[in-house]
Amino acid sequence: MEWIQQLVNGISLGSIYALIALGYTMVYGIIKLINFAHGDVFMIGAFIGFYAIAKWELGFFPALLLAMVVCAIFGVLIERIAYKRLRNATRIAALITAIGVSLLIEYTTIFFRGAQPAAYPEVFKNRTLDILGVQISSTSILILSVAVVLMILLQFIVHKTKIGKAMRAVSHDADAARLMGINVDNTISATFAIGSALAGAAGVIFGVYYTKIDPLMGVIPGVKAFIAAVLGGIGIIPGAMVGGMLLGVVESMVSALGYSLWRDAAAFVILILILIFRPSGIFGKNAREKV
């Protein structure tokens, strides 16, 4: 029974990774950039949620919505200010800029509010449900349902709406899409907005689940979400979801076996194994580079 409990914990944690990973994978799919600052958008989302709930006394869902909106705007700003000029730059230049943006967000936050952690207020009475002998906290279920609803919404946007169609077209071939009359810049901004909104939502539910947030909290989940995206096949949306869930479950299992200090190492080992043996991820197809 304890295993099932760990599995449920793993899936809750994994759904947070999955939400962040979706942003990574969408941005990578469209402009081939590892957006290192994505983990920091997640952190900003957590803080917006914190201030909304603790200081302005909003409920959980308004706070979640507010965090998503602010993060979406923030994501678009990052893209317009820092990344837009880099469309034709080398990969190394883009990556270094992303690292720079990430450090800038982290340390500007520390500069203004200090590095000390903040305790998230309790938004829901945490009850423990007993389902067939398995103890599941109500927060786990809440996290999972919020994540699932957002993922379904994302699938709907990507596959059924006009902007989703544009996003798919640009990620396939930006130049051809431009010739077809698609506004590539706006589409990229929309991608950043959607990805950042998901990261913001992940930040709020992370805060509710772990009850402690700090300005450097985005670093490790950010890297793990990237691992999740690579695991599922970068650029592939269902891949990011499965990768995130899988990573969460693996981490919970490693903890359950008594190696909780090695949890982060396990994630990196998975990353390296995947990169060496199947660089295109679980769902990816192998594409040869053309000269």
Partner 1 sequence: MKKSKIFWGYAVLALVIYAVVQALITTGTIDMYYKNMLITMCINIMLAVSLHIVIGITGQFSIGHAGFLAVGAYISAIITTKLMLPFPLAIFLGALAAAVAGLIVGMPTLRLKGDYLAIATLGFAEIIRIVFLNTDYVGGAAGMQVKYLSTWTYAFVGVVLTILVIANFTNSRHGRACISIREDEIAADAMGINTTYYKVVAFAIGSFFAGLAGAIFAHNFYIIQPTTFGFLKSFDILIYVVLGGLGSLSGSVIAAIFLTVVSTYLANFPETRMIIYSLVLIFVMLYRPTGLMGTKEITHLFKFGKKGGTK
Residues of this chain that bind partner 1 (CB under 8 A): 32, 34, 82, 85-86, 89-97, 99-104, 106-108, 110-111, 219, 223, 226-227, 230, 261-262, 264-265, 268-269, 271-272, 275-276, 279, 289, 291
Instruction: Say if residue 155 is exposed, middle or buried (CB neighbours under 10 Å; 0-12, 13-18, 19+).
Output: middle
User: Which residue in this structure is represented by tokens 């946007």?
Assistant: 157
Q: Give the helix/strand (H/E) hosting 107.
A: helix 91-113
Q: Report the nearest approach of partner 1 to the CB of residue 216 (Å).
A: 10
Q: Report the nearest approach of partner 1 to the CB of residue 213 (Å).
A: 18
Residues 6+ apart with CB under 8 A from 203: 41, 42, 43, 44, 45, 46, 47, 48, 49, 67, 71, 213, 218
The dihedral formed by the CA atoms of 41, 126, 5 and 11, expressed in degrees to the nearest 10 = -20
Q: Report the nearest approach of partner 1 to the CB of residue 93 (Å).
A: 4
Q: Report the nearest approach of partner 1 to the CB of residue 109 (Å).
A: 9
Q: Report the nearest approach of partner 1 to the CB of residue 155 (Å).
A: 26
Helix crossing, 237-256 with 263-277: angle to 10°?
140
Q: Strand, helix or coil at 130? A: strand
* Closest-CA residue to 196 (of 49, 29, 88, 71): 71
Which of 61/268 has CB closer to partner 1?
A: 268
Which of 32/165 has CB closer to partner 1?
A: 32
Q: Report the nearest approach of partner 1 to the CB of residue 42 (Å).
A: 16
Which of 15/109 has CB closer to partner 1?
A: 109
Q: Strand, helix or coil at 212? A: strand
Which of 132/291 has CB closer to partner 1?
A: 291
Which of 41/94 has CB closer to partner 1?
A: 94
Which of 102/196 has CB closer to partner 1?
A: 102
